[in-house]
Chains A and B, each alone.
Chain A
Amino acid sequence: MIIEALLAVAILGGFAVLLVPDRYAGKLAFGASLGPLAGSLWMLWEFDGDGNLLFDAGARAFESDLSGTTILPVGPYDVQWIAALDGISLPLVVLSTVLTTLAIVSAWTPIDERQSQFYGLVLFMEAALIGVFAALDFFVWFVFWEGVLVPMVLLIGIWGGPRRKYAAIKFFVYTNVASLVMFVGFVLLLVGLGDAVTSFSLPEVTQAIHDDQLTSLYGLSPEELATVAFFAMFAGFAVKVPIVPVHTWLPDAHVEAPTPVSVLLAGVLLKMGTYALLRFNFTMLPEVAAANAELIAAIAVISIIYGAMLALAQRDLKRIVAYSSVSSMGYVILGLVAYTVYGVGGATFQMLSHGLISGLLFMTVGVIYNATHTRMVGDMSGLADRMPIATWVFVAGAFAYMGLPLMSGFAAELFVFLGAFGAEGLQYSPIFTAAGMFGIVIVAGYLLAAMQRSIFGPFYLETDYEIGRAPFHDVAPLFVLLGLIVVLGVAPEVVFDMVEGATEPIVENANGGGV
Chain B
Amino acid sequence: MALDTLGGEDWLVHLAPVLVLLATAMALFLADAIDPDTSNHPAVAGITLLGVLGALGAAVARLLGVGPDIGASLFAGQLVADHAAVLFTVIVTSVTALVVVGSYDYLEDVAHKGAFYSLTLLAATGMVLMAHANSLATVFVALELASLPSYALVAFLKHDRGSVEAGLKYFLIGALSSAIFVYGVSLVYAATGSLLLPEVAAAITEGVDQTGVLGLGVLTMVAGFGFKVASVPFHFWAPEAYEGAPASISGFVSSASKAAGFAIAFRVFTTGFPLEAMQDAGIDWVMVFGVLAVLTMLLGNLAAAVQDNVKRMLAYSSIAHAGYVLIALAALDVGGTYNELVLAGGMLHLFVYGFMNTGAFLFVALAEHWDVGRTFEDYAGLGREAPVACGAVTVMVFSLAGLPVGGGFWSKFMLFAGAVGNGVWWFAAIGGLASAVSLFYYWRLVRALWIDEPTDGGHDIDSTPVALYGAIVVAALVTVVLLGAIGPASEVAHDAAAGLLG
Q: Inside 8 A of B418's CB, which chain A residues have their CB?
A: 75
B443 engages A158 (CB within 8 Å): no
* Residue numbers in B under 8 Å from A71 (CB-CB): 484, 486-487
| CB under 8 Å from chain A, chain B span 99-121 | none
- With contacts A71-B487, A74-B417 taken as known, whether A158 is within 8 angstroms of B451 at the C-beta atoms is yes
A150 on interface, CB distance cutoff 8 Å:
yes
Cβ–Cβ < 8 Å partners of A187 in chain B: 420
Q: Does B413 contact A (CB under 8 A)?
A: yes
B421 close to A (CB within 8 Å) = yes
The dominant DSSP class at the A interface is: helix
Q: What 0/1 pattern do residues 389 to 423 of B give for CB contact below 8 A with A?
A: 00100000010000111000110011001101100
Chain A residues with CB under 8 A of B340: 75
In the bound complex, do residue A158 and residue B413 qualify as a contact, i.e. CB atoms below 8 Å apart? no
Complex contact A146–B447 (CB within 8 A): no
Select from chain A the residue with minimum beta-carbon distance to B414.
A74
Q: Given the complex of chains A and B, what is the CA–CA distance between A72 and B384 in angstroms? A: 37
Cβ-defined contact, A146 with B486, below 8 A: no
In the bound complex, how far is the Cα of B264 from the Cα of A454, in angstroms?
A: 72
Check if A453 is an interface residue, CB within 8 A of chain B: no
The proximity string for A residues 118-156 relative to B, scoring 1 for CB distances below 8 Å and 0 otherwise, is 000000000000000000000100110011011000100
Asked if residues A146 and B337 are in contact (CB atoms below 8 Å), the reply is: no
Which residue on chain B has the smallest CB distance to residue A143?
Answer: B404
Contacts of B404 in A (CB 8 A): 142-143, 146-147
A67 CB, nearest partner CB in chain B, Å = 15
Binds B, one of A33-41, A164-172, A300-308: A164-172
Residue of B whose beta carbon sits closest to that of A187: B420
Which B480-502 residues sit within 8 Å CB-CB of chain A?
A: 483-484, 486-487, 490-491, 494
Q: Which residue in chain A gives the minimum CB-CB distance to B403?
A: A146
Q: Distance in Å from the Cβ of B464 to the closest Cβ of chain A?
A: 16
A73: chain B residues at CB < 8 Å are 487, 490-491, 494
Interface residues of A in 54-99 (CB under 8 A from B): 70-76
**Within 8 Å CB of B443, what residues of A?**
169, 172
A198 on interface, CB distance cutoff 8 Å: no
The prevalent SS among residues of B at the interface is: helix
Task: Report the separation of the CA atoms of residues A187 and B450 in the bound assembly, to the nearest whole angstrom.
Answer: 34
Give which listed residue, A70, A75, A168, A172, contacts B421 with CB less than 8 A: A75
Write out the residue numbers on chain A whose beta carbons fall within 8 Å of the beta carbon of B403.
Answer: 146, 149-150
Q: Which residues of B contact A172 (CB under 8 A)?
A: 439, 443
Query: Which residue of chain A is the closest to B428 with respect to CB atoms?
Result: A187
Whether a CB of chain B sits under 8 angstroms from the CB of A330 is no
Q: Are B405 and A164 in contact (CB under 8 A)?
A: no
B54 interface hit (Cβ, 8 Å): no
Q: Measured between alpha carbons, how far is A14 from B387 in the docked complex, in Å?
A: 15
Expressed in whole angstroms, the Cα–Cα distance for A188 and B491 within the complex equals 26
The answer to whether the Cβ of A157 comes within 8 Å of any Cβ in the partner chain is: yes
Q: In whole angstroms, what is the CA distance A164 to B417 when docked? A: 36
A176 at the interface (CB under 8 A from B): yes
Q: Is A473 an interface residue (CB 8 A)?
A: no
Query: Which of B414, B436, B491 is within 8 Å of A176, CB to CB?
Result: B436
Report how many residues on chain A are interfacial, defined by Cβ distance under 8 Å. 31
Does B432 have its Cβ within 8 Å of any Cβ on chain A?
yes
What separation, in Å, do the CA atoms of A157 and B449 have in the docked complex?
Answer: 11
A114 with B384: CB separation less than 8 A: yes
Complex Cα gap A74–B491 (Å): 10
Which B residue's beta carbon lies closest to that of A151? B405
Does B341 lie within 8 Å of A72, measured CB to CB? Answer: no
Query: In whole Å, how far is B379's beta carbon from the nearest beta carbon of chain A?
Result: 15
Bound complex: CA A187 to CA B418 (Å): 13
Tell me whether B341 and A75 are in contact (CB under 8 A): yes
Mark interface residues in A206-221 (1 if CB within 8 Å of B CB, else 0).
0000000000000000
**In the assembled complex, how far is the CB of residue B217 from the closest CB belonging to chain A, in whole angstroms?**
33
Q: Is B242 in the interface zone, CB < 8 Å from A?
A: no
CB-CB < 8 A to B436: which residues of A?
176-177, 180
Q: Does A325 sit at the interface, judged by CB under 8 A?
A: no
A168 touches B451 (CB 8 A): yes
**Set B405, B421, B451, B494: member contacting A150, Cβ < 8 A:** B405
A165 contacts which of B413, B417, B451, B494 (Cβ < 8 Å)? B451
| Other-chain contact of B451, A74, A157, A176, A191 (Cβ < 8 Å) | A157
Q: Are B439 and A191 neighbours in the complex by a CB distance under 8 Å? A: no
Which residue in chain B gives the minimum CB-CB distance to A113? B384
- Among B383, B405, B491, B494, chain A packs the most CB atoms within 10 A around the CB of B405
Nearest A residue to B395 via CB reads: A150
- The answer to whether A150 and B486 touch (CB under 8 A), given A74-B417, A139-B413, A172-B443, is no
Contacts of B490 in A (CB 8 A): 72-73
Among B383, B417, B432, the most chain A Cβ lie within 10 Å of the Cβ of: B417
Known contacts A142-B404, A146-B404, A150-B398: does B450 contact A75 (CB below 8 Å)?
Answer: no
Closest Cβ of chain A: how far from B297's Cβ, in Å?
A: 16
User: Quick one: given A73-B490, A76-B337, A150-B398, are A158 and B420 in contact (CB under 8 Å)?
Assistant: no
The contact sample of 12 A-B pairs, CB cut-off 8 A, is A73-B494, A75-B340, A75-B341, A142-B404, A143-B483, A150-B398, A154-B450, A158-B451, A168-B451, A176-B436, A176-B439, A177-B436
Q: List residues of chain A with CB under 8 Å of any chain B CB.
A: 18, 70-76, 114, 117, 139, 142-143, 146-147, 149-150, 154, 157-158, 164-165, 168-169, 172, 176-177, 180, 184, 187, 191
Apart from A75-B417, A75-B418, A180-B436: 18 A-B pairs, beta carbons within 8 A: A71-B486, A71-B487, A72-B486, A73-B487, A74-B413, A114-B387, A117-B387, A146-B403, A150-B398, A154-B446, A158-B450, A165-B447, A168-B447, A169-B447, A177-B436, A180-B432, A184-B432, A187-B420
Using CB atoms and an 8 Å cutoff, list the residues of chain B in contact with chain A.
Answer: 337-338, 340-341, 383-384, 387, 391, 398, 403-405, 409-410, 413-414, 417-418, 420-421, 432, 436, 439, 443, 446-447, 450-452, 483-484, 486-487, 490-491, 494
Identify the 9 closest CB pairs spanning chains A and B, nearest first.
A143-B404, A157-B451, A75-B341, A146-B404, A72-B486, A75-B338, A74-B417, A72-B490, A158-B450
